[in-house]
Amino acid sequence: EAQVTQNPRYLITVTGKKLTVTCSQNMNHEYMSWYRQDPGLGLRQIYYSMNVEVTDKGDVPEGYKVSRKEKRNFPLILESPSPNQTSLYFCASSLKGYGAEKLFFGSGTQLSVL
């Protein structure tokens, strides 16, 4: 089944403790992206990647890192999480990242930073 898989689904951590949220897609998509969703603010893009080793900042990149060493994986790294990064996170992918494409989303990761 074609899908975007995120792990974990729920994560509770403490301020300053490095964490990684994994994202994997099995559709051979070149484009991958991370969003965060907060009440009243909608979905905001954090980082995106147009292909392996090609990443760029989205609208709210501060405090986050990403890497794209393999086509299928696009992990989100919080090296020193803070409470304002408590949010619902979504990974997404599409074939190329432009044109009349569909964007496929993962099921989300609810992160709480205490």
Q: Is 105 in the site for other proteins (CB under 8 A)?
A: yes
- What's the N-to-C CA distance of the chain in angstroms? 36
Output the smallest distance, CB 16 to other proteins, in A: 26
Structure tokens at 51: 């292909």
CA atoms within 13 A on the CB side of 54: 10
Q: Which stretch binds other proteins (CB under 8 A): 13-21, 43-51, 64-72, 78-86?
A: 43-51
- Map residues 55-94 to x or -, x wherever contact with other proteins holds by CB under 8 A: ---------------------------------x-x-x--
Rg over alpha carbons for the chain, rounded to the nearest Å, is: 13
Q: Is residue 8 reached through a cis peptide bond, with omega within 30 degrees of 0 on the bond before it?
A: yes
The residues that touch other proteins, with contacts defined as CB under 8 A, are: 4, 31, 33, 35, 42-43, 45, 48, 50, 88, 90, 92, 97-100, 102-108, 110
